[in-house]
Structure 1
Amino acid sequence: FVDAHYHLGLSYYRKAKFGQAITSLKRTLELLPRDLDVWIKLGMAYYKKGDFGQAVKAYQEAIKIEPNNIEVLNNLGMAYDELSRFAEAIAVYQFALNIHPDHPQIQSNLSIAEDLKSGRYSLKAYRHYRRGHDYLSGNQLERATAEWKLAISESSTYAQAYLSLAEAYFNSHQYQTAIGFYQVAQRLSPNDASIAYNLGNAHLRSRHFKQSVRAYQQAIKIDHQMTHAYANMGNALFELKLYGEAISAYQQALQLDPSLDITRSHIKVAKEIDAKLYTFNAYQLWRSGSNSFNQGNVTDAIKEWEAAVKDSPRYAQAYESLGWVYLNTEDYSKAIEAYQIALEIQPNLQAKQHFNFARELKAEKYSFHSFQLWNKGRQLIAADKLDQAIKLLEQSIQESPNFPEAYNTLAWIYADKLSRNLDEAEKLARKAALIRPEAAFICDTLSWVLYKQERYVEAAETAEKAIELDPNQAEHFYHASLAYLKNRQKEEALDNLKKAVTLENRFGQIAQQEVAFANLHATPEFQQILKNRK
């Protein structure tokens, strides 16, 4: 019978029949007067019904059973808030934080109780504000914004209500309306860096670039470590064609977070436009074409990329994009032509690989379908759907046994992502190398497989072969450094790590997190490598 009363009470609670839930839970407590969970549920039912005095009594009984229960303390504080007993609420929250100092919900509730006690906004306004977030959680945006506006009408200096409205309108792409609410929130909380940053984002989306720069500058003035404020300020300065200032902002962001590859690519673009390798207009055409392509509009993408290379005939990235779309529409002759021009202007590993795809597909060395299976497999790897990726790669190999990239990618999954099936990974990598012996990236995969097999001497030798084939790939040097380290060849390990970091400074951060390098982290040689990062 006890269970029946309890579960009936829970069922009523879920159906928002709080009076009936209270009756069932009280009957449960007649039989189990020391049951903590039942007292908590009873307090919650009273709270939802709006009987905050009885909620306090239920939570106080729960506290007698378990004085340090964080959930009960938090709920008791909220019930005190509703009774305008703010000093008692603050005391309860502070007691809870002594037990769990980093609890975000209790930290937030303590701040709210202090605001209510000081009169920054009224309890009625807070109720509207909280109800607005309840509606937002239920995807009822209009009702949510109506509640926040009621909160503002009740307490005109309620900064969080303005901020909630601003965020809601921003997320609905109503940027101009969002800007107005962010500006009020900023006036009310002038030392909040996040408000200034979000205001900058709203201006940026509205293409108010000068205003966005000012907002980001304000955010950075408040918080010098706000990485994304520097990065987005760089974007705004770039749109204003202030390339030197944009590069400086991007570099500040990278100093704070070297893993921001997108920011690194933005620096490259800004430098290239500043050096007049192509025009800002050509870049805009390329970017528009990329958006069209991502939306499945291939025809418009081709038109915009062709317009970009007409505007700037030395624009390698636009030729690469054309090459990729021609490759995927099986127009191999045009793909070969586009990639040849791109490689003449700006040689790089990816363009060379895609150029080879176009030539080999034209020569029917493997089928276009097997190429598609491989490409879809790569996309699944990026989405961390490895089992599905493996199946597609196996199908690609079965359909075209002479397609080296499928063997190589499957070997890489086993070695890098899964660290299993290493014997099979070695067979796959060696098969890929047999088909395409001059491919540095395949040698690198084989080196990594050998490293995972703890065959460190062979791993180092194979990594050196990859470096010989292509000395411009940082990953080859990094894998060599790890193999040498395991061989206890410290000097060779650090020399290769230095070269990896010189080519791509993200490998410095990777090495800092690598357990194999842990014993070297504090050494002067390792620290000097980090200092020499670009």
Structure 2
Amino acid sequence: MRLQLIDKKSTSVGKALIFMALTTFFLTTTVACSQNKDVLITEIGVNPPRRPPSQPSKAGDFYIQGQYKHLRGDAQGAIADYTKAINLNPNFGAAYNSRGLVYFDTGDREKAIADYNQAIGINANDAEAYNNRGNARAAQGDRNGAIQDYNEAIRINPRYAQAYNNRGNARASGGDRKGAILDYNQAIALNPRYAVAYNNRGNAHYGQGDYQNAISDYNQAIRINPNFAAAYNNRGNSYAAQGNKQKAIADLQRAASFFQQQNNQALYQKVMDNIKELGQ
């Protein structure tokens, strides 16, 4: 899966370093800010499905086959299967929601929102559909609409850690880092092994200039997920902001190594360029 870039920030050592947040889930999307140009990653997830039947005939069969194709990168095949499931059962809310995820993954936010609307129309208490529609609205720059959807998801399911994390991202993107930190706190309280939420809370601390607490959060994210490339990168940025070039370069080198292992040449090269700048 592609990993998305946050934006460039100027640090106290005068170098522009990549600041990023990303997920360990299957799919990612960026949430763009308006004025401060931060970009944060929200997350959506697809549960690993059972192997589809060899001869699908029922709506549920096509739904499972759609999930299977989606996770294997066959977006158009997944859309076709979810559409067959919906044609066989027009009240199949989960199929609308899942097709929305595929549209979202391919960048068609309008069709994604239309499918989430259908899922919510079928089941007004579909917390996942509200959360996913919030992601799509956030990706369109509709931060207020996104927060309203995350609020609904949380109202329906107060233990929805992902919705708290996503609402935190939306708040942070609008400059409300205190509110974002409260949401990340809640996400972490619900799921103490939520590496993404630790990383995102670290980003909020970083945005406040609180580099030490940012480093503590990145430490936690890395402890939970030792291969979390963005957390190494972000911790490196925090060390750079403190003027500690040695630790900053060490972390950026780790981040670059992980991006290279993931065959993400674009981010690998950007981090390597930043290492070069820091070393000057």
TM-score by length of 2: 0.53
SS in 2 for 1:488: coil
The CA deviation at 1:466 is: 0.5
> Given the alignment, which residue of 403, 407, 432 partners 2:92?
403
Is 1:502 paired with 2:189? yes
Counterpart residue type for residue 131 of structure 2: D
The CA deviation at 1:390 is: 1.2
What does residue range 47-66 of structure 1 map to in structure 2 within 5 Å? none
> Given the alignment, which residue of 211, 216, 222 partners 1:523?
211
Kept in 1, the 8 Å contact 2:62–2:81? The answer is: yes
Could you tell me how far apart the structure 2 residues matched to 1:295 and 1:427 are? 28
Kept in 1, the 8 Å contact 2:202–2:217? The answer is: no
What does residue range 58-137 of structure 1 map to in structure 2 within 5 Å? none
What does residue range 462-477 of structure 1 map to in structure 2 within 5 Å? 462-477=149-164
Could you tell me how far apart the structure 2 residues matched to 1:528 and 1:499 are? 17
What does residue range 282-431 of structure 1 map to in structure 2 within 5 Å? 369-415=58-104, 417-418=105-106, 420-431=107-118
> Given the alignment, which residue of 454, 460, 463 partners 2:141?
454
Could you tell me how far apart the structure 2 residues matched to 1:437 and 1:488 are? 31
Instruction: Pick closer, same or farther for the CA change 1:444–1:375 going to 2, 3 Å.
Output: same
- Counterpart in 2 of 1:486? 173
Could you tell me how far apart the structure 1 residues matched to 2:51 and 2:173 are? 47
SS in 2 for 1:412: helix
SS in 2 for 1:450: helix
Give a deviation string over 1:357-394, Cα, whole Å, max 9, x none: xxxxxxxxxxx811111111111122222221111112
Could you tell me how far apart the structure 2 residues matched to 1:427 and 1:464 are? 19
The CA deviation at 1:398 is: 2.0
Instruction: Pick closer, same or farther for the CA change 1:482–1:446 going to 2, 3 Å.
Output: same
Counterpart residue type for residue 485 of structure 1: A
Could you tell me how far apart the structure 1 residues matched to 2:173 and 2:158 are? 22
The CA deviation at 1:513 is: 7.7
The CA deviation at 1:492 is: 1.1
Counterpart residue type for residue 174 of structure 2: N
Give a deviation string over 1:189-227, Cα, whole Å, max 9, x none: xxxxxxxxxxxxxxxxxxxxxxxxxxxxxxxxxxxxxxx
Instruction: Pick closer, same or farther for the CA change 1:377–1:463 going to 2, 3 Å.
Output: same
Q: Larger relative contact order (C-alpha < 8 A, sep ≥ 6)?
A: 2
Instruction: Pick closer, same or farther for the CA change 1:488–1:422 going to 2, 3 Å.
Output: same
The CA deviation at 1:530 is: 5.3
Give a deviation string over 1:237-263, Cα, whole Å, max 9, x none: xxxxxxxxxxxxxxxxxxxxxx7xxxx
Counterpart residue type for residue 413 of structure 1: V
Could you tell me how far apart the structure 1 residues matched to 2:97 and 2:202 are? 26
Give a deviation string over 1:307-340, Cα, whole Å, max 9, x none: xxxxxxxxxxxxxxxxxxxxx9xxxxxxxxxxxx
Kept in 2, the 8 Å contact 1:457–1:487? The answer is: no
Could you tell me how far apart the structure 2 residues matched to 1:515 and 1:386 are? 33
Kept in 1, the 8 Å contact 2:198–2:218? The answer is: no
TM-score by length of 1: 0.29
Give a deviation string over 1:57-114, Cα, whole Å, max 9, x none: xxxxxxxxxxxxxxxxxxxxxxxxxxxxxxxxxxxxxxxxxxxxxxxxxxxxxxxxxx
The CA deviation at 1:520 is: 5.8
Could you tell me how far apart the structure 2 residues matched to 1:510 and 1:385 are? 29
The CA deviation at 1:459 is: 0.5
- Segments of 5+ residues of structure 2 without an aligned counterpart are 1-23, 25-49, 225-280
- Larger fraction in helix: 1
Instruction: Pick closer, same or farther for the CA change 1:448–1:521 going to 2, 3 Å.
Output: farther
Counterpart residue type for residue 448 of structure 1: N
SS in 1 for 2:61: helix
- Larger fraction in strand: 2
- Counterpart in 2 of 1:158? none
Counterpart residue type for residue 437 of structure 1: A
The CA deviation at 1:508 is: 2.9
Could you tell me how far apart the structure 2 residues matched to 1:453 and 1:295 are? 34
> Given the alignment, which residue of 130, 155, 159 partners 1:443?
130
SS in 1 for 2:199: helix
Kept in 2, the 8 Å contact 1:494–1:526? The answer is: no
Q: Which has the larger radius of gyration?
A: 1
Kept in 2, the 8 Å contact 1:407–1:432? The answer is: yes
- Counterpart in 1 of 2:121? 434
Kept in 1, the 8 Å contact 2:165–2:184? The answer is: yes
